[in-house]
């Protein structure tokens, strides 16, 4: 059983590399959202290209035919990009300065600072074990519902809200049994299974850690 414990620690250690980066990006966006004008809603920034297209503006996107709105044969790199996409790839990640994994470049200090803050918050939440994590749970278990409620109310007040809700509540169940594209069908089920394992925390050792604080004969079903 010692090996199971070590494996659980290693799994959490390696997964943290992936998830903490995403949380760092979210923290970066949170700070950027404090600006009077959100930088990812328009194409007037220094990092935007000529292929940036605001969907709220009238007129066809760059590289599209005026009458049929079909592509004129541009390559994928010249297709119209949304301001949000260019902000993430060109302003946050600055991928325009790299030609691939062989050209990593230097770390961006803003992202490094965000990642450092994320690891610091994790340490402060876990350094005393269940004593500190138990207090943090009061915030992490309730705050998401408060924020989601606020976003729900705000979203319902925006134009086209009912269309978005209808699209969300009417899934295309036919995709789960579409045999015309076997690879896509397999990917849907694999992605669903992966998300389920992440959601229940199977193999991460979280449930084992919390269970170790119970007495041996504790009634887990009560």
Helix (H, G, I), strand (E, B) or coil at 156: helix
Do 55 and 82 touch, CB atoms closer than 8 A?
yes
**125 assigned binding-site residue:** no
* Closest listed residue to residue 4, CA positions, set 193, 211, 186, 148: 211
> Cα 162 to chain center, whole Å?
24
Q: What tokens appear for 216 in the block?
A: 């041996």
* Closest listed residue to residue 12, CA positions, set 205, 141, 208: 205
Q: What tokens appear for 37 in the block?
A: 């004008």
For residue 101, CA distances in Å to 95, 115, 202 come to 10, 20, 32
Numbered residues of the known binding site? 199
Numbered residues of the known binding site for Na(+)? 199
């Amino acid at each position: 059983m010692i090996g199971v414990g070590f494996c659980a620690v290693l799994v959490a250690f390696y997964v943290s590399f992936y998830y903490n980066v995403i949380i760092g990006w979210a923290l970066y966006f949170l700070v950027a959202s404090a600006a009077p004008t959100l930088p990812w809603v328009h194409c007037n920034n220094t990092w935007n290209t000529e292929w940036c297209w605001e969907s709220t503006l009238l007129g066809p996107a760059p590289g599209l035919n005026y009458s049929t709105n079909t592509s004129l044969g541009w390559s994928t790199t010249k297709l119209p990009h949304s301001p949000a996409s260019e902000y993430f790839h060109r302003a946050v990640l600055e991928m325009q300065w790299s030609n691939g994994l062989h050209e990593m470049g230097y770390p961006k200090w803003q992202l490094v600072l965000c990642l450092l803050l994320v690891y610091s918050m994790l340490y402060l939440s876990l350094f005393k074990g269940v004593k500190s994590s138990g207090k943090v749970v009061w915030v992490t278990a309730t705050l998401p519902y408060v924020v989601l409620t606020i976003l729900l109310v705000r979203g319902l007040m925006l134009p086209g809200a009912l269309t978005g809700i209808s699209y969300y509540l009417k899934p295309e169940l036919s995709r789960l049994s579409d045999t015309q594209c076997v690879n896509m069908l397999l990917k849907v089920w694999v992605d669903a299974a992966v998300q389920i394992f992440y959601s229940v925390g199977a193999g991460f050792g979280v449930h084992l850690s919390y269970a170790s604080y119970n007495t041996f004969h504790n009634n887990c079903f009560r």
